[in-house]
Amino acid sequence: MSGEVPLWEVFIRPRNGLAHKHVGSLHATDEVMALQAARDVYTRRGEGNSIWVVASNAITASDPDQAGENFEPGEKIYRHPTFYEIPDEVGHM
């Protein structure tokens, strides 16, 4: 019985000036075939002009159980411009 063909995550840049965006995943035995498969699977309707493929197991993700400690304390209101009072006469700042 054959082994598992590795999983890859696919990122596509729709056009120059935009960032690559995750569009999905696929299976391929190596990076060259992954890139070709990404082209054949995810760009059949002119979706982009650049592709990245990343082996799924190379991605390190944050733990959703730590979402609270990771992301909630980040909300410091003095990091936002509206925290500061500037008179209207000063103009847009």
Partner 1 sequence: MALFDALLELADDHLVLGHRVSEWCGHAPMLEEDLAMPNMALDVIGTARSLYDYAGKVEGAGRDEDDLAYLRGEREYRNLLLVERPNEDFAHTMLRQLYFAAFMHPYWTAALTSQDETIQGIAGKAVKEMAYHIRHAGEWVVRLGDGTEESARRMADAVQSLSIYVGELFEEGAAEGVDVLPSRAAIRDEWLATVKRVFDEAGLTFEDSKFPQTGGRSGVHGEGLGHMLAEMQSVHRAHPGATW
Partner 2 sequence: MYSQGLIGADGRSEETPEFLAAFQARVDAETKIEPNDDMPEGYRRTLVRQIGQHAHSEIVGMLPEGNWITRAPSLRRKAALLAKVQDEGGHGLYLYSAAETLGVSRKQMTEELLDGRAKYSSIFNYPTLSWADIGIIGWLVDGAAIMNQIPLCRCSYGPYARAMIRVCKEESFHQRQGYEIVMKLAQGTPEQKAMVQDALNRWWWPSIMMFGPHDADSQHSDQSMAWKIKRFTNDELRQKFIDATVPQAEYLDLTLPDPDLKWNEEKGGYDHGPIDWDEFWRVVKGFGPMAKDRVKARKKAWDDGEWVREAALAHAEKRKARAQAAPMAAE
Would you say 7 or 18 has its CB closer to partner 2?
7
Which of 27/86 has CB closer to partner 2? 27
Spatial neighbors of 63 by CB under 8 A, at least 6 apart, are none
Binding residue count for partner 1, defined by CB under 8 A:
13
> Which residue ranges make up the site for partner 2 (CB under 8 A)?
2-5, 7, 23-27, 29-30, 33, 41, 44-45, 61, 63-65
The answer to whether residue 40 forms part of the interface with partner 1 (CB under 8 A) is yes
Select from partner 2, partner 1, none the partner in contact with residue 14, using the beta carbon and a kind-dependent cut-off of 5 to 8 Å. Answer: none
Confirm or reject binding of residue 26 to partner 1 (CB under 8 A): yes
- Residues whose CB falls within 8 Å of the CB of residue 60, separated by 6 or more in sequence, listed in order: none
- Cα–Cα distance list, 73 to 1, 67, 82 (Å): 50, 10, 19
Side-chain-side CA neighbours of residue 12 (13 Å): 20
